[in-house]
Amino acid sequence: MGGSQLLSPPPKLLGFILFLLWLQEFYKLENVLLHSFALVNQQNEEKENTFMLAASPNSAPQPFLPLLAPSPMGTPFFHNSTPKLSGRCTLNFTSVDSLMSTTAVDCWTSFAPFLANVICCPQFQATLTILIGQSSKETGMLALGSTHSKYCLSDIQQILGSQGASSDLQEICSIHSSNLTRGSCPVYDINGFESVVDSSKLLSACRKVDPVTECCSQICQNAVLEAANKLALRNGELMASFSISNSLIEHSSKIDSCRSIVLRWLSSRLNTASAKLFLRRLSNCNVNRVCQLDFPDTKAVAENCGNMIKNNTTCCHSMENYVSHLQKQSFITNLQALSCATLLGLKLQEMNVSTNIYSLCQITLKDFSLQVGTQESGCLLPSLPSDVTFDPSSGFSFTCDLNDNIAAPWPSASQISSSSCNKSVNFPALPAATSSQFGLIAADMMLRVVFSLLLLLVILL
């Protein structure tokens, strides 16, 4: 009897064993993706093999294939610890639960450095602004004191960290406790603010920020700047000594501080979702305006591609080697890629590279973004604000412009002072492949996944 039972395992157990065998083959298939993060390790060895990406960049967008995610026993998974709060911060965290959860996912510990500029830090900054703005409804103050701000920033980091966000968030985003104070702005209470600023005009300009036209029309941005100027000059100091450089620097610092006060006031007049939307859309104008990549020395490329190119193969090999260093840095938007391509092209032209080596070497805009694996699979994030999403069954994902496989344009002299408002390369306002996403999963979760599977086995038996 005993031998017969051993030869005939229970149907549930047999099904589960077959599932494990299938899972093993699945991981063999995805093995190339895990190896691809040797690129990431060169930048951050302490976080090797922390996540992997999957995409189908050489064809039309395919339906999202979810990678294995841990059992939904926590949200986000396995990072649901109790934060150690100071008890001295009066900000109302429970009123922005959903916002905090979004920020934790956007700044997930494994990939926060690679999404910092485009997604994580803009979301983190928006969260801080909204927290203070919402609390001003009860306190009447649009800034925290210096001591209070230290406790609150620490508590915010604790809450986000308990939900899986990076513990280095303040360093990654260059956020300090002073960013939560009034800085050098002379007006930081609601009554004082509304006695100086035309609040109805400001709210009208910023209540609904157009995600496509705002960066060029600057309707809300100009209204915010006008209000910040009024606050900065509240004490009647019209800066008679404008010609003195120190006075200009001081005034500029005051404008920046007052701009933060203005954004907090606006956040207090909108619900959390609307406030997040308008803040992210404003910050996105700055994100898309600047190339965030660090360019290594272009001497080797100039030597092989400068003047009259003697050997196309040698030139392109040098160019591809150079671009490979850019591909280890971070994810960027499609408009950032355009700016980066222009900036690098101008640098090369200054070193007597006159040939369009982008065309010669088939360099595309996606080549300027973080790469996955050995095949062409760069991800250009959409130019509009976006978030990372988490689903218990499929893990982490975010949207890429997979159809924006555009050749990098070789710059002309007229592009030196051009802005994104008059670029000749057309981008869709929304990503052409909005349904295509990259599934992400932290590799260091593998053992915990196995544990979950074993737990399931016990339940089945």
The predicted pLDDT at position 304 comes to 96
92 vs 69, 136, 139, 149, CA distance in Å? 32, 10, 11, 14
Give the span between the Cα atoms of 93 and 402, in whole angstroms. 37
Nearest Cα neighbor of 427 from 455, 405, 450, 456 is: 405
Domain range annotation of the chain: 93-236+246-288, 298-412
Q: Which stretches in the chain have pLDDT values below 50?
A: 1-8, 14, 18, 20-78, 238-244, 374-375, 424-461
The predicted pLDDT at position 73 comes to 35
Span 433-445, pLDDT tens digits? 333 334 343 333 3
Query: Which regions of 290-435 does DSSP assign to beta strands (E)?
Result: 332-333, 380-381, 389-391, 395-399
Residues 309, 323, 30, 399, Cα dihedral to 10°: -120
Nearest Cα neighbor of 275 from 136, 158, 88 is: 136
The predicted pLDDT at position 119 comes to 97
Which contiguous run of DSSP H or E holds residue 148? helix 146-162
The predicted pLDDT at position 79 comes to 56
Which contiguous run of DSSP H or E holds residue 439? strand 437-440
The predicted pLDDT at position 141 comes to 98
Is the distance from CB of 34 to CB of 50 less than 8 angstroms? Answer: no
The predicted pLDDT at position 251 comes to 72
